[in-house]
Protein backbone atom coordinates (compact mmCIF):
# COMPACT_ATOMS: atom_id res chain seq x y z
CA UNK A 1 0.00 0.00 0.00
CA UNK A 2 1.18 3.51 -0.86
CA UNK A 3 1.38 5.15 2.59
CA UNK A 4 1.66 8.66 1.16
CA UNK A 5 -1.45 8.15 -1.00
CA UNK A 6 -3.34 6.67 1.96
CA UNK A 7 -2.45 9.62 4.20
CA UNK A 8 -3.38 12.16 1.52
CA UNK A 9 -6.74 10.53 0.81
CA UNK A 10 -7.52 10.03 4.51
CA UNK A 11 -6.78 13.67 5.37
CA UNK A 12 -8.98 14.88 2.50
CA UNK A 13 -11.73 12.54 3.65
CA UNK A 14 -11.58 13.88 7.24
CA UNK A 15 -11.50 17.47 5.98
CA UNK A 16 -14.54 16.89 3.76
CA UNK A 17 -16.42 15.22 6.61
CA UNK A 18 -15.66 18.13 8.95
CA UNK A 19 -16.64 20.82 6.42
CA UNK A 20 -19.97 19.20 5.54
CA UNK A 21 -20.70 18.67 9.23
CA UNK A 22 -20.06 22.34 10.01
CA UNK A 23 -22.19 23.50 7.07
CA UNK A 24 -25.11 21.37 8.23
CA UNK A 25 -25.10 21.34 12.02
CA UNK A 26 -23.91 24.88 12.73
CA UNK A 27 -26.92 26.46 10.93
CA UNK A 28 -29.21 23.76 12.39
CA UNK A 29 -28.02 24.74 15.87
CA UNK A 30 -28.20 21.12 17.03
CA UNK A 31 -26.73 17.68 16.47
CA UNK A 32 -30.32 16.34 16.58
CA UNK A 33 -30.70 17.08 12.86
CA UNK A 34 -30.99 13.38 12.00
CA UNK A 35 -31.42 14.00 8.27
CA UNK A 36 -27.99 15.62 8.33
CA UNK A 37 -26.48 12.51 9.92
CA UNK A 38 -28.29 10.35 7.36
CA UNK A 39 -26.78 12.29 4.46
CA UNK A 40 -23.31 12.16 5.96
CA UNK A 41 -23.67 8.42 6.45
CA UNK A 42 -24.78 7.59 2.91
CA UNK A 43 -22.25 10.05 1.49
CA UNK A 44 -19.08 9.31 3.43
CA UNK A 45 -19.35 5.59 4.23
CA UNK A 46 -19.54 4.55 0.52
CA UNK A 47 -16.90 7.18 -0.27
CA UNK A 48 -14.53 5.64 2.28
CA UNK A 49 -15.17 2.13 0.94
CA UNK A 50 -14.71 3.27 -2.67
CA UNK A 51 -11.42 4.93 -1.71
CA UNK A 52 -10.12 1.70 -0.19
CA UNK A 53 -11.12 -0.27 -3.29
CA UNK A 54 -9.42 2.21 -5.63
CA UNK A 55 -6.30 2.23 -3.46
CA UNK A 56 -6.09 -1.54 -3.68
CA UNK A 57 -7.06 -2.01 -7.34
CA UNK A 58 -6.33 1.26 -9.13
CA UNK A 59 -4.18 3.67 -7.07
CA UNK A 60 -3.36 5.73 -10.17
CA UNK A 61 -7.06 6.56 -10.62
CA UNK A 62 -7.37 7.54 -6.96
CA UNK A 63 -4.25 9.70 -7.18
CA UNK A 64 -5.55 11.33 -10.34
CA UNK A 65 -8.87 12.22 -8.73
CA UNK A 66 -7.26 13.51 -5.53
CA UNK A 67 -4.79 15.79 -7.30
CA UNK A 68 -7.08 17.05 -10.07
CA UNK A 69 -7.03 20.79 -10.74
CA UNK A 70 -8.84 22.47 -13.58
CA UNK A 71 -6.61 24.37 -15.98
CA UNK A 72 -9.27 25.91 -18.23
CA UNK A 73 -10.59 29.27 -17.03
CA UNK A 74 -14.17 28.48 -18.02
CA UNK A 75 -14.16 25.26 -16.01
CA UNK A 76 -12.61 26.92 -12.98
CA UNK A 77 -15.62 29.24 -12.92
CA UNK A 78 -18.02 26.30 -13.15
CA UNK A 79 -16.27 24.52 -10.28
CA UNK A 80 -16.33 27.63 -8.07
CA UNK A 81 -20.01 28.30 -8.73
CA UNK A 82 -20.83 24.65 -8.04
CA UNK A 83 -19.03 24.90 -4.71
CA UNK A 84 -21.03 27.98 -3.77
CA UNK A 85 -24.25 26.14 -4.64
CA UNK A 86 -23.36 23.31 -2.28
CA UNK A 87 -22.49 25.69 0.54
CA UNK A 88 -25.77 27.57 0.08
CA UNK A 89 -27.83 24.36 -0.15
CA UNK A 90 -26.31 22.85 3.01
CA UNK A 91 -26.58 26.04 5.07
CA UNK A 92 -30.18 26.62 3.98
CA UNK A 93 -31.04 22.99 4.80
CA UNK A 94 -29.72 23.43 8.34
CA UNK A 95 -31.63 26.68 8.79
CA UNK A 96 -34.74 25.11 7.29
CA UNK A 97 -34.64 22.31 9.87
CA UNK A 98 -33.89 24.74 12.70
CA UNK A 99 -36.78 27.08 11.98
CA UNK A 100 -39.17 24.57 10.40
CA UNK A 101 -39.83 26.58 7.26
CA UNK A 102 -40.70 23.73 4.91
CA UNK A 103 -39.58 20.27 6.04
CA UNK A 104 -40.26 17.18 3.92
CA UNK A 105 -41.99 14.15 5.51
CA UNK A 106 -39.81 11.25 6.64
CA UNK A 107 -40.96 8.92 3.85
CA UNK A 108 -39.72 11.41 1.23
CA UNK A 109 -36.35 11.59 3.00
CA UNK A 110 -35.93 7.79 2.95
CA UNK A 111 -37.01 7.48 -0.69
CA UNK A 112 -34.48 10.15 -1.61
CA UNK A 113 -31.80 8.32 0.38
CA UNK A 114 -32.56 5.14 -1.59
CA UNK A 115 -32.28 7.06 -4.88
CA UNK A 116 -28.99 8.55 -3.70
CA UNK A 117 -27.50 5.12 -2.99
CA UNK A 118 -28.65 3.74 -6.36
CA UNK A 119 -26.90 6.62 -8.12
CA UNK A 120 -23.82 6.03 -5.99
CA UNK A 121 -23.71 2.48 -7.36
CA UNK A 122 -24.03 3.87 -10.90
CA UNK A 123 -21.14 6.22 -10.19
CA UNK A 124 -19.03 3.30 -8.97
CA UNK A 125 -19.85 1.41 -12.15
CA UNK A 126 -18.73 4.38 -14.26
CA UNK A 127 -15.39 4.41 -12.42
CA UNK A 128 -15.03 0.69 -13.11
CA UNK A 129 -15.83 1.07 -16.82
CA UNK A 130 -13.62 4.08 -17.51
CA UNK A 131 -10.15 4.12 -15.96
CA UNK A 132 -9.41 7.39 -17.81
CA UNK A 133 -12.08 9.19 -15.79
CA UNK A 134 -10.72 12.42 -14.36
CA UNK A 135 -12.13 15.29 -12.35
CA UNK A 136 -10.65 17.71 -14.87
CA UNK A 137 -11.41 18.15 -18.55
CA UNK A 138 -8.47 16.76 -20.49
CA UNK A 139 -7.41 14.14 -23.01
CA UNK A 140 -4.93 11.75 -21.41
CA UNK A 141 -2.11 9.77 -22.93
CA UNK A 142 -3.31 6.54 -24.58
CA UNK A 143 -6.92 7.48 -23.83
CA UNK A 144 -9.55 5.82 -26.01
CA UNK A 145 -13.30 6.18 -26.49
CA UNK A 146 -15.36 4.00 -24.14
CA UNK A 147 -18.63 3.01 -25.80
CA UNK A 148 -19.75 -0.06 -23.84
CA UNK A 149 -21.88 -0.46 -20.70
CA UNK A 150 -23.37 2.81 -19.48
CA UNK A 151 -21.34 4.66 -22.12
CA UNK A 152 -23.43 2.87 -24.74
CA UNK A 153 -26.57 4.50 -23.30
CA UNK A 154 -25.42 8.09 -22.63
CA UNK A 155 -22.16 9.88 -23.43
CA UNK A 156 -21.68 11.18 -19.88
CA UNK A 157 -22.90 8.56 -17.39
CA UNK A 158 -20.76 10.12 -14.65
CA UNK A 159 -22.73 13.35 -14.96
CA UNK A 160 -25.96 11.35 -15.10
CA UNK A 161 -25.13 9.76 -11.75
CA UNK A 162 -23.71 12.86 -10.05
CA UNK A 163 -26.50 15.18 -11.19
CA UNK A 164 -29.15 12.95 -9.63
CA UNK A 165 -26.92 12.47 -6.57
CA UNK A 166 -26.60 16.20 -6.07
CA UNK A 167 -30.32 16.84 -6.57
CA UNK A 168 -31.15 14.06 -4.10
CA UNK A 169 -28.96 15.54 -1.36
CA UNK A 170 -31.27 18.41 -0.36
CA UNK A 171 -34.24 16.02 -0.37
CA UNK A 172 -32.38 13.69 2.01
CA UNK A 173 -31.87 16.80 4.14
CA UNK A 174 -35.68 17.34 4.03
CA UNK A 175 -35.25 20.77 2.45
CA UNK A 176 -37.23 21.58 -0.72
CA UNK A 177 -35.80 25.11 -0.55
CA UNK A 178 -32.28 23.68 -0.90
CA UNK A 179 -33.53 21.51 -3.76
CA UNK A 180 -34.66 24.65 -5.60
CA UNK A 181 -31.18 26.11 -5.08
CA UNK A 182 -29.50 22.95 -6.40
CA UNK A 183 -31.53 23.08 -9.61
CA UNK A 184 -29.09 25.81 -10.64
CA UNK A 185 -26.51 23.03 -10.94
CA UNK A 186 -28.16 21.83 -14.17
CA UNK A 187 -27.17 24.83 -16.34
CA UNK A 188 -23.69 24.71 -14.79
CA UNK A 189 -23.16 21.07 -15.69
CA UNK A 190 -24.61 21.70 -19.16
CA UNK A 191 -21.95 24.37 -19.67
CA UNK A 192 -19.24 21.99 -18.46
CA UNK A 193 -20.39 19.22 -20.78
CA UNK A 194 -20.42 21.56 -23.78
CA UNK A 195 -16.81 22.55 -23.12
CA UNK A 196 -15.75 18.97 -22.38
CA UNK A 197 -17.18 17.66 -25.64
CA UNK A 198 -15.37 20.37 -27.59
CA UNK A 199 -12.07 19.28 -25.98
CA UNK A 200 -12.75 15.59 -26.64
CA UNK A 201 -13.78 16.16 -30.26
CA UNK A 202 -10.53 18.01 -30.89
CA UNK A 203 -8.16 15.70 -29.05
CA UNK A 204 -9.70 12.22 -28.77
CA UNK A 205 -9.73 10.05 -31.87
CA UNK A 206 -13.13 8.55 -32.63
CA UNK A 207 -15.15 10.83 -30.34
CA UNK A 208 -17.04 12.53 -33.19
CA UNK A 209 -18.16 9.12 -34.47
CA UNK A 210 -19.10 8.12 -30.92
CA UNK A 211 -21.39 11.16 -30.66
CA UNK A 212 -23.22 9.99 -33.77
CA UNK A 213 -23.73 6.50 -32.30
CA UNK A 214 -24.82 7.62 -28.81
CA UNK A 215 -27.34 10.41 -29.12
CA UNK A 216 -28.07 11.36 -25.52
CA UNK A 217 -25.63 13.19 -23.26
CA UNK A 218 -26.94 12.60 -19.74
CA UNK A 219 -30.47 11.16 -19.57
CA UNK A 220 -31.86 8.69 -22.13
CA UNK A 221 -34.67 10.18 -24.26
CA UNK A 222 -34.48 13.49 -22.34
CA UNK A 223 -31.02 15.12 -22.50
137-173 pLDDT per residue, tens? 455 555 677 777 888 889 889 899 999 999 999 999 9
Question: What confidence score (pLDDT) does residue 134 get?
Answer: 56
* Alpha-helical segments (H) within the chain: 3-28, 34-57, 59-66, 73-99, 106-129, 157-172, 176-182, 185-203, 207-213
- Please, is 17 exposed, middle or buried when counting C-beta atoms within 10 Å of its C-beta (0-12, 13-18, 19+)? middle
Domain 3-213 in this protein, CATH class: mainly alpha
- Quote the CA–CA distance of 15 and 22 in Å, as a whole number: 11
- Please, is 221 exposed, middle or buried when counting C-beta atoms within 10 Å of its C-beta (0-12, 13-18, 19+)? exposed
Place 73 in a pLDDT band, splitting at 50, 70 and 90: low
Mean pLDDT, the chain, rounded, equals 86
Q: How many CB atoms lie within 10 A of CB 19?
A: 13
The structural domains of the chain, with segments of one domain joined by +, span 3-213
Amino acid sequence: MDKELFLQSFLKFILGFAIVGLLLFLPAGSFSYWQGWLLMGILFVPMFCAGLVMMARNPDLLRKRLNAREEEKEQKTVVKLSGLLFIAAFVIAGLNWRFGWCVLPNWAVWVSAGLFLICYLLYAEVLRENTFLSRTIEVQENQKVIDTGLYGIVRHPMYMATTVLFLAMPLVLASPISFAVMLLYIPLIAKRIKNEEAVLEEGLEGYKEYKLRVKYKVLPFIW
